Amino acid sequence: MKIRVMVVEDEPPIQRNICQKIEEINSSFQVVATADNGREAYRYLQEHTVDVLFVDMNLPVMNGQELLHSVAQQNMKLIPVVLSGYTDFTYVKSAFENNALDYLLKPLKDSELKLLLERLEEKLQRQWFEEKAHRFEEALSGAELPQNLDRAAEAGQKYGMMLLTFGNSYSTYRDGEWNYPEIFRGLSLDEHLCRMIPQECFWVVDGKNANEKLIFVRKESGADVNRFRQMLGRLNYAPLTLTAVYYREAVELTDIFPVYRKMQKYTREHKIFLKDALLVYSPGNLIRKMGERKQELDRLLMQCQNAGPDQLSEVFAKLLKLLTARPVPQDEAEHDIRYFMFRLCQKCPGHREYYEIEHEVQFILDNYYTEEAMRKEFDFLFRDIFGASLTASGDKAKLAENMKDYLDENFRINITNQFLAERFGFVGSYLGSIFKSYYEVTPIEYVVQKRMEEGKKLLETGEMKIKEVAAWLGYEDSLYFSKVFKRVIGMSPKDYVNKGGRN
């Protein structure tokens, strides 16, 4: 896209010379309008969009100072540059007060103009890139396109889309075991994409959920599903699983929100149990095959009769092998595991009923993505249900209290269920179950609530900026902190401050 320029100069020979030199020196610029007085220029700018305004200060009817002031007052999205024969300090001061990028003296040397145009091009490209990323974020939220959107520049622009999702994909995803913003930063997606396509041809944008990222690429960039497959193969994110959904059709800005929702739904329906996947979006119906495994499940359950915890763990390992021998959708695998555990509790009565462990089962399915990790969690669960009682009732209350005391003192550090398991000597799902039975939230949810309450107090004092509050609470990404704050408190940190700490 050409950079649109307007030149305002009252001397025709100088005006023609400036216009000619701009287009000759840098072909990225196009002079789309000229004017010989400030009022004519201002009327044009009220009805048309330009990117750069070259303006003389000594103009008839409306001078350059008045024109720049009017442009600034109307908050017009353009970059002013002053070309003048006057060195008066008042002119220079006025130019920069009204957002001029530079103040150059006539006659302008070609070398000076060349450097100026390079600066303008770099600044505008960076500005457009950031604005486009912001528009993508707005589109993902379902917001209407802004009134000041340059629809002429956006017309015909088409993009490829790919949704990356770590772990499970749920429309109401909550903070859990994994620090997804930090994991995404460690992937350096921008660096990997730069090896495929020019940097100005792609954008990496946060999804609505913490475990999501979206990649937008210009359709003409040449990026296709095979190149994305090669890029994803170079990423290291163990022990998590990554599901990537590639949308084959070109998408316009107005289509992004409905397409994003389709891709989220497609991820939920097609995510592969304990495996990475690059999926090409296809609107066809998914064929379910859960009935084919029911006989296998019932045969495994027969092996559980009169079995102890160790034998049950071995049978469960066979179940995991059955569910990973070929690609099985996540929701099918979860259904089979819940069915297995429900029938097991019926056939082999233990210390706890199925309804008492249902939350723990789901927690394991939501937060562990390797056979080894899942086996370890279920091994512990089998010993708790069918072995000797691991913890007496009084001991459980003390354990929950000890965890709460520890979290109250250490909520600013990165707390995970794996960290708590190593600290307290029990697997994460068991600790989470005990903690929730006494405090109605999981340990991770408690840490988030604690951080937000402390964040409110810090914001109310007015002594720290939002970014500083985020860092003090343990959030390296202040934007992520703002998202969590808004979800928990009901408004953004900025709005909370503006309302004087009232929510």
- Residue 148 pLDDT > 80: no
**Is pTM beyond 0.85 here?**
no
Give me the CATH topology for the region 3-124.
Rossmann fold (3.40.50)
- Decide the pairing of beta strands 79-84 and 52-55: parallel
Q: H or E segment at 438? A: helix 428-439
Percentage of the chain exceeding pLDDT 90: 50
- Residue 497 pLDDT > 60: yes
Q: What is the pLDDT of residue 496?
A: 92
- Condensed to tens digits (0 to 9), the pLDDT of residues 264-307 reads 999 999 999 999 999 999 887 666 665 678 899 999 999 998 89
How is residue 320 written in tokens? 């995991």
Q: What is the pLDDT of residue 167?
A: 87
- Condensed to tens digits (0 to 9), the pLDDT of residues 382-408 reads 988 888 665 666 688 999 999 999 999
- Condensed to tens digits (0 to 9), the pLDDT of residues 60-79 reads 888 888 898 898 888 888 99
CA–CA dist 352, 360 (Å, integer): 12
Give the chain's mean pLDDT.
87
Q: Which of 16-30, 170-184, 248-262 has the lowest mean pLDDT?
A: 170-184
Q: What is the pLDDT of residue 454?
A: 95
- Condensed to tens digits (0 to 9), the pLDDT of residues 159-175 reads 999 999 998 765 344 55
Q: Cβ neighbours of residue 31 under 8 Å, at least 6 residues apart?
A: 5, 6, 7, 19, 22, 23
Give me the CATH topology for the region 157-280.
Alpha-Beta Plaits (3.30.70)
Q: Which architecture, in CATH terms, is 402-503?
A: Orthogonal Bundle (1.10)
Is the CB of residue 385 less than 8 Å from the CB of residue 433?
no
- Residue 232 pLDDT > 70: yes
Domains of the chain by residue range:
3-124, 157-280, 290-386, 402-503
CA–CA dist 26, 401 (Å, integer): 69
Q: What is the pLDDT of residue 96?
A: 74
Q: What is the pLDDT of residue 172?
A: 41
When pLDDT is averaged across residues 440-453 and rounded to a whole number, the result is 93
Per-residue burial over 140-162, b if 16 or more Cβ lie within 10 Å, else e, is beeeeeeeeeeeeeeeeeebbbb
- Condensed to tens digits (0 to 9), the pLDDT of residues 337-381 reads 999 999 999 988 888 889 989 989 988 998 889 999 999 999 999
